[in-house]
Structure 1
Amino acid sequence: MTIEEKYEELDLTPSYLKKEIMILACGNILFADDGFSVHVIEKLNEILTEQEKENIALVDAGAGAPQQVLTLIDENSKTKKIILVDVIDWGLKPGEIKIIEKEELPNVKYCKFDIHNLPLSPLLKEVAEKYNIEVKVIGCQAKYVSEPDVHIGLSEEVEKAVDKAVNIILRELRGD
């Protein structure tokens, strides 16, 4: 067997691309409300059954890796639905949840090539359209994002929104 044949036998596909549903958390717990999605993923990890987790990937991509996760999706990925969780700034009341459909994602232009400022919506739309993936964003209006200063902990309003977001996601996953 050649090296090429051995390499082809290896399954190098990330485990999260082998599941039909991906919950993708974007955020950083070091910057106050920016850690919202991390808390949502942790709570989902506690609530979801092992059977549900067989088909649902819980991905904490942090602040800089969502782009990398999305660029790994290809025609061989099993992903059919992505639920992205993040804080937003849509001028809502702090802690207010907004469900954003793919068509509502802003058409943000790439203004500078810096992974921390690279807009996610164009890539999310592109992946959804190219691979026929359903996309929803569960956005929570932030009250305070401390970046670049470190501040661990959510504002009271955003902390209360964690359970709301989890319930929305559970209804979406379970079809309630």
Structure 2
Amino acid sequence: MEKLKKSIRVMGCGNLWMGDDGVGIRIVEKMIQMKDEGAVSCLSNVDIIDAGVSGLDMLPFLEGFDKIIIVDAIKSGENVGSILKVKGEDLLLGDDVGRMMSSHDVSVPTVLSIAREIQELPEIVVFGVEIGKHGDEIDLTTDMCPEVESAIDRVIPLVIAEIGKDLNL
């Protein structure tokens, strides 16, 4: 079993009943299964959670870890199914990256800005999957479009590689 230099939490955000918006949840579901099966050794020391559409309730999830990796649906104007990696400090700058990061009412950058004011922030990395419709435009469905669904298997190795940067080799 590999030992991590940092305590790491992977958080999937989204709503499974809103189609593509559930991509973050689908990613962590798959990663939890991989962890339970012992398929990827570095996951054994990683906390992986379904954060749902937690909004401000995300604040406690940011405590007690050296690094938080967030996976979520985004709207940035890129091609549907594209994957964007953004560091937390870039989200807090308030530029275009910060404004585009979430399909939810209370965006990840907003939560991070509030968290920075009231608590110490860990290192944050966000992997966003571009979706075609904003959360409030999606019909109630658990189905995802093929481009977003195919992104799940492309994001997981990126998240695992990010975790791998913190392995104590």
Q: TM-score, normalised by structure 2?
A: 0.74
How many residues in Structure 1 have an aligned counterpart in Structure 2?
147
Of 21, 25, 31, which aligns to 2:18?
A: 31
| Contiguous gaps of at least 5 residues in structure 1 | 1-18, 109-115
Partner of 1:152: 142
Contact 2:58/2:111 (CA < 8 Å) preserved in 1?
no
The 4+ residue runs of structure 1 with deviation greater than 4 A are 50-54
- Report SS of the residue matched to 1:61: strand
Q: Check 1:38–1:132 CA distance in 2 against 1; reply closer, same or farther (3 A cut).
A: closer
Partner of 1:170: 160
Instruction: Name the stretch that deviates more: 97-106 or 124-133.
Output: 124-133
Highest CA radius of gyration, 1 or 2? 1
Partner of 1:61: 51
Percent identical: 27
Once residues 134 and 172 of structure 1 are traced to their aligned partners in structure 2, the CA distance between those partners, rounded to angstroms, is 12
RMSD (Å), alpha carbons: 2.7
Deviation, structure 1 residue 20: 1.6
- Report SS of the residue matched to 1:143: coil
Once residues 145 and 151 of structure 1 are traced to their aligned partners in structure 2, the CA distance between those partners, rounded to angstroms, is 14
- Report SS of the residue matched to 1:138: strand
| Contiguous gaps of at least 5 residues in structure 2 | 1-5, 96-103
Partner of 1:13: none
Once residues 99 and 29 of structure 1 are traced to their aligned partners in structure 2, the CA distance between those partners, rounded to angstroms, is 22
Contact 1:36/1:86 (CA < 8 Å) preserved in 2?
yes
The one-letter code matched in structure 2 to 1:121 is: P
The structure with the greater share of residues assigned to helix is 2
Contact 1:95/1:158 (CA < 8 Å) preserved in 2?
yes
Deviation, structure 1 residue 173: 1.1
Deviation, structure 1 residue 21: 0.8
Q: Check 1:32–1:132 CA distance in 2 against 1; reply closer, same or farther (3 A cut).
A: closer
The yes-or-no answer on 1:118 pairing with 2:121 is no
The yes-or-no answer on 1:131 pairing with 2:120 is yes
